[in-house]
A and B are shown apart, each in its own frame.
Chain A
Amino acid sequence: MQKIEINLTVNQRSYELKVKPNKRLLDVLRNDLNFTGVKEGCGIGECGACTVIMDGEIVNSCMVLAGQARDSEIITVEDLESENGLHPIQKAFIDAGAVQCGFCTPGMILSTLNLLKENSNPTRSEIKDGLEGNFCRCTGYKQIIDAVELAAEMMRD
């Protein structure tokens, strides 16, 4: 298969890449661009560890091909911390004790980011709906839900 040229904006920086069109966005991000905060948990779009935000939508990057991602804008977890410090969602995940092994955490945080963009004051049930595509095997989810509530509160202030 012939390589194609694609342009990707990742975390506000533009990249020109020559890749096979059927290469997974997950591999482009991890292997070509070294955004290893994107994790591979299952490879078939079930677990949400590889969640990124693409053009404002949550996607499993293992289910998106490089060709489909052409000219898109991607946000990974590496984008959240800025010169001003941690993003409120990151702070909330630490404070609520929502991190254990950490492998699902980047995906959880990005799903939270998108959820709170659409709904700044979600109920616990809406939080569950927003994170249902992200599996966690350590926490039992309760502290993650607490973290999202805490983040929403901090972001509204």
Chain B
Amino acid sequence: MKKFNKEKRVDAHKKIAGEEKYVSDLNVSDKLIGATIRSEYAHAKIEEIIFAQDFDWDDIVIMIAADIKNNYVAMIEKDMPFLAKSIVNYIGEPIVLLAAKNRKKLDEAINNIEIKYETLEPVLTFDEALSAAENKDDLIFKQMQVKRGNFSTAVKRANFIIEDMVETSYQEQAYMEPQGVIAIPKNNDKIEIRGSIQCPYYVQNAMDQLFADTDIKINVNANPLGGSFGGKEDFPSLISGHAALLAHKAQKPVEIIYDRKEDIKTTPKRHPSRSEFRVAVNEEGRIIGLEVKLSINGGAYCTLSPVVLERAVLTFGCYFIENICIDGYALKTNTVPNAAFRGFGGPQALFAAEMMIEKIAMELNLTPLEVRQINMLKFGDKLETGQPVNYSFGLPECLQNVLHKSNYIKKYKEFKKFNIENSAEAGYLKGIGMSLARHGGGFTGSGENYMDTVAAMELLQNGKLKIITAQTEMGQGVDTAYKKIVSDFFELPYSQILIENKDTSKVPNSGPTVASRSTMVVGKLIVDNCEKIKNKVLEEQDDLSEFTKKAVDYYKTNGKLKVESTYKHPDFVKYNEKELTGYAYPVFSWSANVAEIMLNLTTYEIEVTKYFTSQDIGRAINPQQAVAQIEGGTVQGIGYALFENMYTQKGQIVNNGFIDYIIPSIMDVPEIEADIVEESYFYGPYGAKGMGELVLVGVAPAIASALINATNKLTRKIPSTPEYIFKLLEE
């Protein structure tokens, strides 16, 4: 096995010196500031937009829907406009764009615009959406079903039929750097977009469609991102369009940077979900049949909801269930559109699956561990789509690790005893819980094959190598992982390896920086490119000792050398996207998790005191940063499980700052013991597979399971706030 270069993160120095340039740090002269005027109603007809006649509009750039020829943001569907034309579908939907020299002018202009509406009936809640969707198909963005066997015959054989319903709420990505882009027009027919953009080619595609039938050429240059977590996957296409439209009209650079309030109120979040399950169990506790109706609230426009839903229905736990039918619905409501967030449907489905296990344990008087062990996937089992689990399957080892480290079995009994005998005096309940989780690496189904992902590498005159991909650095450490891969391959120091800017005029479309695919999929192409360069420069020799010298000689004789590789799945990875059968993912990553909590009986606050996790991520390219990501995902998961509650009122998100939308602070961090299981994936670079999302998806169910140990009641809702726990204990 190769030893990876031990140098630290390649971007760390800039970041600790305050020298990293995020979009708001760019020094662009003569720029205007852009602002968005938004709908005040969840559902309404725009009757009139009135620009005050006595105001001097000369220095203000204005855009309304009528000014935009191709008024749609290109995503899966074309339903979302850049600006609402006649109907608004959620509170906060953009209606008018303005740009001016400074904030003061902009504020004056905003105060001189009035919009008149005729209100319409909105669909706001899950109940409203589900009942409305029964009669109106256009309130369903997507419906899909995963099915194997026959649930009704399983019911006949079952000793127990157990039903329940669980719900998950919104989660805000809460990247530290708010959304922002700047559009810079050049020579009348070019616009450069710079910004906090996770997927430059998504924005490129959206801009190409917006400016189709014109001579305007766009390039998209992604700055380093101050965090993203999916939040800057789809949304930058919308604000890039806004900035570009204003900049084109003004022929001046236009910057749109949201403040935190605007960001939380109007940008996409994790889909709230509701899962109703009915499970058929035999007397030993084996699940022989399962029926689930899993619904997610997509908000007002389709965005990425169909693919979030698909991942959800394909991630229902780590158990072998012979007869299974999962019906998924992505529903349309008059609320902020929801879209990508780390985990992408997985957190919702895994919460439901793990609460199903807990419910079975309660009904059959088994321990939650016993029910998990009885039903857990075994090597060689087939998943609900027919995909066999017969390689890179580290789940059993992960489970062994966390059980051993946490002493779960002993504590499970001890805590129950403590809660009966000592909790009243102590003033708190103790709980220990667990979860099993999985996450498929790369796009679902045939997505990777459609993408034609291309990555390039160039040999420069001085013998240095340049890695050329569109994968953006948002904190996850992709630049370092790529340099490590190349550095190891050629036994070169980092200083001999460069990374091209993530600018669409310079890098090929290596696909979006999403779906835990950057290391697994694009990283593999980097290895392929290394092979190609090595074969050319060293002429099939293996001696790397004089690589740089030979590379310089090669360049002198042959000139520039640039190689490319295109990704294809392994041959046997085939998926039927109509039936949802076959290989949903080329490989899964796995985790087992144990959480310990204390529940204060006066305030009903919950503190996570210890967290143990073991994660099979294939070969860890950068072990230090892999553990850092596990810890970061754990803490983000704690927020999801316990405090990150978003309140809505008549379709409006009420809490919009960190004072009332509570993300974990340093005070909320438990002791975390993380270990990595490296079940090599034969097709990934050096055996690596995906990890960026796995780290979050198992956290909330482990904490919810610990709550059950403490309360003896099923946790039906996350976040499990003190208010919820209070009601639960009063039941």
Contact = CB atoms under 8 A, between A and B. Distances in A.
Contacts, number: 165
Interface string B519-551: 000000000000000000000000000000000
Nearest to A104: B176
A58 interface: no
Given A46-B658, A101-B474, A135 B176 contact: yes
A86 B667 CA distance: 28
A39 B21 CA distance: 11
A35 B19 CA distance: 9
A43 interface: yes
A100 B225 contact: no
B659 interface: yes
A137 B174 contact: yes
Interface string B266-293: 0000000000000000000000000000
Contacts of B665: 132, 135
Given A76-B18, A90-B16, A142-B669, A135 B663 contact: yes
Contacts of A53: none
B177 A101 contact: yes
B22 interface: yes
Contacts of B657: 42, 44, 46
Given A43-B260, A101-B475, A94 B631 contact: no
B176 A41 contact: yes
Interface string A115-142: 0000000000000100110111111111
B176 A140 contact: no
Nearest to B635: A140
Contacts of A41: 176-178, 260
Q: How large is the interface on A (under 10, 10 to 19, 20 to 34, 35 or more residues)?
A: 35 or more
Contacts of A141: 631, 635, 666, 669
Interface in B160-188: 173-178
Given A90-B17, A101-B227, A134 B12 contact: no
A78 B22 CA distance: 16
Interface in B9-55: 9, 11-22, 24-25, 27
B343 to A, nearest CB: 15
Contact of A139 (B178, B224, B261, B628): B628
Nearest to A101: B475
Nearest to A41: B176
Interface string B628-652: 1111111110000000000000000
Contacts of A140: 628, 630-636, 669, 672
A46 B657 CA distance: 8
Contacts of A102: 11-12, 14-16, 20, 224, 226, 475
B620 to A, nearest CB: 13
Contacts of A90: 16-17
A42 B262 CA distance: 10
Contact of B17 (A40, A81, A131, A145): A81
Contacts of A78: 17-18
Nearest to A90: B16
A39 B12 CA distance: 16
Contact of A40 (B16, B24, B627): B24
Contacts of B658: 42, 46-47, 135
10 contacts: A30-B25, A44-B659, A77-B18, A99-B11, A103-B175, A106-B16, A106-B18, A135-B663, A137-B175, A142-B672
Interface of B: 8-9, 11-22, 24-25, 27, 173-178, 224-229, 259-261, 474-477, 624-625, 627-636, 657-659, 663, 665-667, 669, 672
Given A34-B27, A102-B16, 6 more contacts: A97-B627, A103-B177, A106-B16, A139-B631, A142-B669, A144-B666
